[in-house]
Amino acid sequence: MSQTTNDPRLLRAPPKRPIRLSWSDERVRGIVWQLLVVGIVGGIVWWLWSNTVHNLEVRRIATGFGFLGREAGLPIAEHLIDYNPTDTYFRALLVGLLNTLKVAVVGIVLATVLGTAIGIARLSRNWLLSKIAGVYVEVIRDLPLLLQLLFWYAVLQGLPGPRQALNPVDGVFLSNRGLKLPWIVWESAHSWALLAFVAGAAATWLYRRTARAKQMQDGQPRRVWPVALGLLLVLPVAVWWVLGAPWTPDMPALRGFNFQGGLNISPEYFALLLGLVLYTAGFIAEIVRAGILAVPHGQWEAAQALGLKPTQVLNQIVLPQALRVIVPPMTSQFLNLTKNSSLAVAIGYQDIVSIANTTLNQTGQAIEGIAIIMLVYLTISLSISLFMNWYNARIALVER
Amino acid sequence: MSDITLNTAAAGVPEAAPRSAPLTQIGLVGWLRANLFSSWLSSAVSLLLLYLIIRWAAGFIEWGIVNAIWSVPNNQTQACRDLKGTGACWAVITEKHRFMLFGTYPYEEHWRPFLVCLLFIGLYVVSAMRRFWRWELALIWVAVLTLIGVLMWGGILGLSYVPQERWGGLPITLILATFGLAFAFPLAILVALGRRSSLPAIKVLCIMYVELIRGVPLISLLFMASVMFPLFLPEGMNIDKLLRAQIAIILFAAAYLAEVVRGGLQALPKGQYEAADALGLSYWQKTGFIILPQALRLVIPPLVNTFIGFFKDTSLVLIIGIFDLLTAGKTAIIEPAWQGFGVEVYITIGAIYFVFCFAMSKYSQGLEAELNRHRRR
């Protein structure tokens, strides 16, 4: 941009002609076209709006978000925060939003890991491995996601009941009531240890930055891993130890007709997560593969010729270049996964769409209900794309 | 090289007969060594994968073929239930395939939706052939789509009238995808041009449209079509549910297609625009004769990929209760006698979707190779 404005030829302002009121003047035509299009679009919007207002009056539907404060009376099976049916609609929707985030965040992490693994497997020199990865990608991308979700849900529903649950490893049970995993009794010491881990991660990141900056000045590489080990592992363990080292395993066990204790993953959540991760991983695999292939072979060879170690070649030479190709399409896959999590409504996982849909059926507030859904997704989409744009700008090629 | 052979010959050393490469480097053994057992890690991976494939394939054949039941007399599904988990019950497909494919369309008239599906497939095949890429193709589309309407509705030419509520299954999926595409594509071109326009009001409108639609899931648009649309229209005026869903799909697809088209417009060198301006062409002449033919050609492969995504996305109408292929499959197993055979039904429906999407995907790859032939060295 700066180059074009500095161009001396463009600094001379074009001669200004007075606007003639004639069809042959480009500016007049532009204004007429814009007025026409804005007029048509505005007219349609106004027509729809006036119809809506009239219809709402006729049907005696009160508009506004007053219903959010009323008692919801709808049961929600899975909730991250305390909830019971006597709570308000607002809290019900909040629970739904958290459920959406729960599946989206976990899904994004797992799909990235699996997708990257499959993308690399497709480039493997092992013929069998690359063929299997190729078939996986082709098949998974050619089947509708909704069909896959219904399929996995049907598979989970077809599993034996809790009494005949599949028990592949001690403490892990898979039945038509979902997946049961061993867990620990969560105490405040664990929360503090988790907090210490997060603080340690932030400190490691800061240390790595300063180490890099110093290396840029004096050319001496500094080791990051001893500090990282201390901050990420020793510090949380020490915190946990100081607070009494509580450790009570919570194993799931069959009591009566169902399991008690342990970590419960409901069949709905499990099917949704499985479907979303397997589906999105197919797309991410292709993006990763394309990104790695986009790095010219000469870059590998040049790095090896300089005597860099294989990990250095990957970390310092290949990945920074591949990431530039990978990040923008990856962003849209993350957005897609989040938006696709709305298909939860088809298999009965209570995400924001499902709860907003129930709300609008119970209260008749169709416009508000759909506005809430759209607002939530627009906010999530915008946040993810802002973050990924920031990250993309950070790793983008710095040109002179 | 030649020096060495020359020297040996001059020294009178008898020339050795040319030897073939070692057996371990060529043929099947060589291929196996290079591709499956090149290192101990590679060998371990190959053996593990082979074991898993054989085990899984054997399990699937046992479940799907050996232990499977192909038909049961008049809805007596007890035999199927006894086999639960060890054998597939394909009897549900034998019994329900007509319902899955054509929904509640009158049984004795099923040849009409069947013909419609064939017409659709024929239309796709003709549109895929490059020799038909001319303006006459638009006429073929209009003619075939009209014929499809006549066949589905009937009411003339001695065909009995079938109301739209009774349509279902595969024809609905194909109708939603094809009509959606036919209307979304021109709209997408207009929006893409608008987004690149120098007129600020038009540009802002197009950006708002594209970003709003792309920011929300298709489901919310479908909900809007099914719940809110009746509120938008004047009293007494009503549009049936299929058409409302179709409008939502068109608006949704147009936003995504517009971004693909915009990519093509941006990829076109600036000189093309300037040359057209220098020739004194008007905006529409420039766009129609110079810009679009080149820009669209650039983005054919991503366009086909978007079509595939969009064909799959028509299945989302299940959520608002429109009777497409997937809904028909899901409904087929609601009947108590057939409950619990979802896996078999979804595998069958998946195979149908796969055939369509795989054909499109292979076509797109072939086309990409063909269109890039001049770039290959």
Asked if B161 contacts B302 with a C-beta cutoff of 8 angstroms, the reply is no
Which candidate from A346, A370, A378 shows the least CB-CB separation from B228? A370
pLDDT at position B375: 57
- Residue A318, pLDDT > 80, answer yes
Sequence-ordered list of residues with C-beta below 8 angstroms from that of A172, at least 6 positions apart, any chain: A179, A180, A181, A182
At A3, the pLDDT band (50, 70, 90 cuts) reads: very low
Cβ of B205 within 8 Å of Cβ of A38? The answer is: yes
* DSSP type of residue A250: E
- The domain ranges of chain B are 106-161, 170-322
* Average per-residue pLDDT for chain A: 83
Q: pTM of the prediction?
A: 0.83
pLDDT at position B376: 54
| A30 burial level (CB within 10 Å; 0-12, 13-18, 19+) | middle
CATH number of B170-322: 1.10.3720.10
- Please name the residue that has the structure tokens 């929006």: B191
Chain B residue numbers touching A127 (CB-CB < 8 A): 35-36
Query: Looking at chain B from residue 118 to 177, which residues have their Cβ under 8 Å from any Cβ of chain A?
Result: none
Three-state secondary structure call for residue A175: strand
Query: How much of chain A, in percent, has pLDDT values that exceed 90?
Result: 18
Helix (DSSP H) and strand (DSSP E) numbers for chain B: 18, 0
Q: Which of A99-108, A320-329, A348-357, B243-252 has the lowest mean pLDDT?
A: A320-329
> For B86-105, what is each residue's pLDDT tens digit?
777 787 777 778 888 888 88
- Residue A297, pLDDT > 60, answer yes
Interchain CB contact of B302 with A (< 8 Å): no
> For B159-201, what is each residue's pLDDT tens digit?
778 777 788 888 889 999 998 988 999 999 999 998 888 888 8
> For A98-139, what is each residue's pLDDT tens digit?
999 999 999 999 999 999 999 988 888 888 889 999 999 999
Sign of CA dihedral B51, B56, B57, B63: positive
Interchain CB contact of B80 with A (< 8 Å): no
pLDDT at position A4: 47
Q: Write down the H helix ranges in chain A.
A: 2-6, 8-11, 26-59, 89-122, 127-141, 145-157, 188-218, 225-229, 235-242, 267-293, 297-305, 310-312, 319-340, 344-347, 352-363, 366-395
The complex scores an ipTM of: 0.84
At B1, the pLDDT band (50, 70, 90 cuts) reads: very low
pLDDT at position A8: 57
CB pairs under 8 A between A and B: 155
Q: How many CB atoms lie within 10 A of CB A168?
A: 7
Chain B residue numbers touching A374 (CB-CB < 8 A): 215-216, 220
Interchain CB contact of B352 with A (< 8 Å): no
Cβ of B202 within 8 Å of Cβ of A33? The answer is: yes
Q: What are A225's two structure tokens?
A: 């891993």
pLDDT at position A1: 41
pLDDT at position A275: 93
> For B118-128, what is each residue's pLDDT tens digit?
988 998 888 88
- Residue B21, pLDDT > 80, answer no
Mean pLDDT of A196-222: 87
How many whole angstroms separate alpha carbon B271 and alpha carbon A154? 57
At A144, the pLDDT band (50, 70, 90 cuts) reads: very high
Mean pLDDT of B329-346: 82
At B79, the pLDDT band (50, 70, 90 cuts) reads: confident
**Among candidates B205, B212, B296, B218, which has minimal Cα distance to B257?**
B296
> For A27-42, what is each residue's pLDDT tens digit?
888 888 888 988 999 9
pLDDT at position A118: 92
* DSSP type of residue B17: P
Three-state secondary structure call for residue A170: coil
Q: Which amino acid is at B159?
A: L
> For B264-275, what is each residue's pLDDT tens digit?
888 888 888 889
Point out which residues pair with A173 in neighbouring strands: A180
At A2, the pLDDT band (50, 70, 90 cuts) reads: very low
At A15, the pLDDT band (50, 70, 90 cuts) reads: low
